[in-house]
Every structure is written in structure tokens, then in C-alpha cells.
Amino acid sequence: MPRTVSRSPSYRRRHSPSPVGYRYDGGGRRSRRDRSRSPYSYSHRRRKSRSISPRRHKSRSPTPRRHKSRSPTPRRYRRQRSRSTTKSPIPKSRSPSLEAIERKNAIEKLRKEEEEKKRRQQEAELKLLEEETARRIEEAIRKKVEESLNSEEIKLEIQRRIDEGRKKLFDEVAAQLEKEKESALIEARQKEEQARREREELDKMLEENRRRVEEAQRREALEQQQKEEERYRELERLQRQKEEAMRRKRLEEEQEQANQMKLLGKNKSRPKLSFALK
């Protein structure tokens, strides 16, 4: 966006009013005929050139411009000549060109400002128009919807959809409840089956333990019986040995007694002994 420069009214008051009304062409310059007919043109230009030039003040154009001199004389020579020559008249063609350029710049700036103002105004009007259009469209849609909702057909359709939605909701709830009930029954069956398997496993464990205990008891009883039988046999053997010892002792005693009797009988009378061969 171009930089705006404030227009100072004091800048206009520096110009002396001309008795002749200027006519400008489309580019903002005075026609050559008006400049030639003006009786104060040369003197006015000379006074204006000797007075404080508006170029020393702030330029009204967005960017400062340096105007090249139309004179082919070098700058250093021009400075020396201006210092040596006093009150030398300024060329006539310089001041009107600067005024025309500044006037053209001012007119161009005003034109751009006017265009920018018009553009902003158009944008604001377009925005307002869009907002108003959107508001009217929204209002029309709202009225149309209200009219549609207030109609009997729409009310019946809404009621039908509400009934369908309620029925669908009830069906979904019933299906969900049935599904949950079936899931609960399946879970209960699974728990019952699990409990039955656990009871069977426990019974098997108890039966196995009982069998092992019985087997251990039977084995222990058998071992005890074997020990008892072995002890009984040992006792019988000892008893037989004792009885055999007693019998041998008795026989020995009887033999000894018989021998003693024989010896006693021989001493009293010796009977004749007859030996016969069989």
C-alpha cells in the first residue's frame, strides 16, 4: 500500500495567485498556450525560483526523486559559475517542469488515494452484502424449516420416525438383554462344568489317597504278619529244640538209671548170661 503524506495547506499559500485561470490537460500540466499568454509567467517564475523552493520541504510524492538537469554542463563547472556569477537568472524551463511534476505526483497520489478509498468502500459494501445475503438465506432456510416442521405431513413423519426409533431401541434392548441372558447361562454352565470337573478331580485325588493309604496299610499288615509268622516259627523252633533237649536229657537220665540198676544187680547176684547167635 503506498505511503500517505499529509497535505499541508501552508504549501498552497506560498504560491501567489495568478490573475489568469489555468487550464490543465488530462496529465495535470498547463497547456503551452496558457503559459505563453500569462503576463506574469516569467516574472512569477523568477520570483518563485529566487524564493524558498518547495523542493526543500517534504516532498508530497511517496518516493523522493532527483531530477537531472537538462544542461550539458558538468556539475562542478555549474557550481563554480554559480559562485562567481551573482544573481544569475534560473532557466525558465526548470521551475514549470518541477511544478508540473509535483502537481502530477499530487494528482496521481490523490487518484490512488481515491481509488484505495473506493476499493475499501467496495470491499466494505461487498462484505455487508455478503453478510446480508447470508443472513437472508439463513432466515429463509429457518422459515422454510419451521414451515415444514409445522406441516401435518412432517409431524406424522416425525412421529413415525420416533415410533420406529423407539421400537428399534426396544428391540435392540431386548436383543441385548437376551444376549446377556444367553451369555449368563453359558457362563453358569461353564462354571458348573468347571465345578464338576474340580469335584471329580478332588474325588480322584481322595480315592487315590485312600488307595495309597490302604495299600500302605495292607503292606504294613503283611509285613507285620510276616514278622509275626517268622517270630512264631522261631518260637516253635526254639520250643522243639527245648523239647528235644528235654527228651534227650530224659533219655540220658533213663539210660543212666538203667545202667546203674544193671550195675547194682550184678553186684548182688550174677545171673548167668547166655549168648545166642541169631
- Does 222 have pLDDT greater than 70? yes
- Does 172 have pLDDT greater than 90? yes
Is 141 inside a domain boundary?
A: yes
* Structure confidence at residue 43 (pLDDT): 44
* Structure confidence at residue 265 (pLDDT): 76
3-state secondary structure of 261: helix
Is 100 inside a domain boundary?
A: yes
**pTM score:** 0.28
Contact 91, 42 (CB under 8 A): no
- Does 276 have pLDDT greater than 60? no
* Structure confidence at residue 153 (pLDDT): 82
Is 121 inside a domain boundary?
A: yes
Between CA 136 and CA 214 the distance in angstroms is 101
Contact 40, 18 (CB under 8 A): yes
* Structure confidence at residue 217 (pLDDT): 93
> Nearest Cα to 54, choosing from 4, 7, 110, 2?
7
3-state secondary structure of 24: strand
Is 95 inside a domain boundary?
A: yes
Is 211 inside a domain boundary?
A: no
Is 103 inside a domain boundary?
A: yes
Q: 19-23, 108-112, 172-176, 219-223: lowest mean pLDDT where?
A: 19-23
With bands split at pLDDT 50, 70 and 90, how would you rate the model's confidence at 206? very high
* Structure confidence at residue 268 (pLDDT): 61
105 is in which domain, residue-wise? 91-150
260: number of CA atoms within 13 Å, CB side?
Answer: 6
Is 105 inside a domain boundary?
A: yes
Per-residue pLDDT, averaged over 155-166, amounts to 89
pLDDT digits (tens, 9 = 90+) for 30-76: 444 444 444 444 444 444 444 444 444 444 544 445 445 454 444 54
> Nearest Cα to 18, choosing from 2, 1, 34?
34
Higher pLDDT, 265 or 171: 171
> Mean pLDDT across the chain, nearest whole number?
74
> Letter for the amino acid at 37?
R
45 burial type by CB count under 10 A (0-12 exposed, 13-18 middle, 19+ buried): buried
Between CA 170 and CA 196 the distance in angstroms is 38
Is 106 inside a domain boundary?
A: yes
pLDDT digits (tens, 9 = 90+) for 123-133: 999 999 999 99
Q: Looking at the 3D structure of the chain, how many domains does it have? A: 1
- Does 213 have pLDDT greater than 90? yes
